[in-house]
Amino acid sequence: MTCFLFDKVIFGPVQSRRLGVSLGINLLPTGFKHCSFNCIYCECGWTKNNEIKNISFPPATIVKQYLEKKLQELKASDSLPDSISFAGNGEPTLHPDFSEIIDLTIELRNKYTPQSKVAVLSNASMIYLPEIVNALKKVDMNILKLDAGTEETFRDINKAASDISLKDIVKNLKQFTSNLIIQTLFVRGEFNGKMIDNTSEKEVATWLEILKEIKPERLMIYPIARATPVKGLEKIPLEELELIAEKVKKTGIKVEVYY
């Protein structure tokens, strides 16, 4: 298997493990990945921001045009999606007009497919900005990443830009007193001679303590499902994920395992 990039602004609908029949919106360039993280498991491959000089985002007017056209087509064929999801080739909240695009997406959703949920899958790196937080509070499914309980494992797995720390992300996640879904991908394997594992007893215990601080409405747990840039990463068995989920349930947080 090889990693892949989305080659369109609007893609799908596709069947999603977590979002049902999902119409995707890619706010990032179509020719390469653009992200504030460089996760070892990312299906889009490695982040190479330092190698790319000119980054061009699709304008809000183009996103609106393409999305409205697609929703009109889907409505005409009576095949409207369960969700309209911001994902794509990296971190969607990096788009300079993210807040405006959220507003126009909600407007189009209300017009053409009011039963569909608007979802954002984000690594939470930009939620120090009030405009990003306000935009995320408007969507139906605000799904933010938390893959680690310690700074070391955060660095090992997510390989965030140097000015991003797990401590700051956790602090900013606490801004969401409601409408917060945490997503955690569990993985283990060797990279650059080091064993990386966020399923260990110590790591899970620390991660659980953070979850109790954040108090999300819901937690999504899942393993890798596609090709990864690091070879040999292990897909964590369902039974192991369910054991972790049982520990989450004891904290009172709703949890779902997607496999």
Query: Looking at the DSSP assignment, which residues form a beta bridge with residue 191?
Result: 194
Pick from 4-13, 100-109, 122-131, 159-168: least confident:
4-13
> Does residue 98 carry a pLDDT above 50?
yes
Q: Which pLDDT tens digit goes with each residue over 183-236?
A: 999 999 999 999 999 999 999 999 999 999 999 999 999 999 989 999 999 999
Number of domains in the chain: 1
> Does residue 55 carry a pLDDT above 90?
no
> Does residue 257 carry a pLDDT above 60?
yes
Q: What is the mean pLDDT of the chain?
A: 95
> Does residue 50 carry a pLDDT above 90?
no
Question: Once rounded to an integer, what is the mean pLDDT over residues 103-109?
Answer: 98
If pLDDT is split at 50, 70 and 90, which confidence band does 238 have? very high
Question: Once rounded to an integer, what is the mean pLDDT over residues 133-153?
Answer: 98
Q: Residue 199: which domain range?
A: 10-257
Please report whether residue 5 resides in a domain.
Answer: no
Kindly report the CATH number assigned to the domain that includes residue 16.
Answer: 3.20.20.70
Pick from 64-68, 119-123, 176-180: least confident:
176-180
Please report whether residue 122 resides in a domain.
Answer: yes
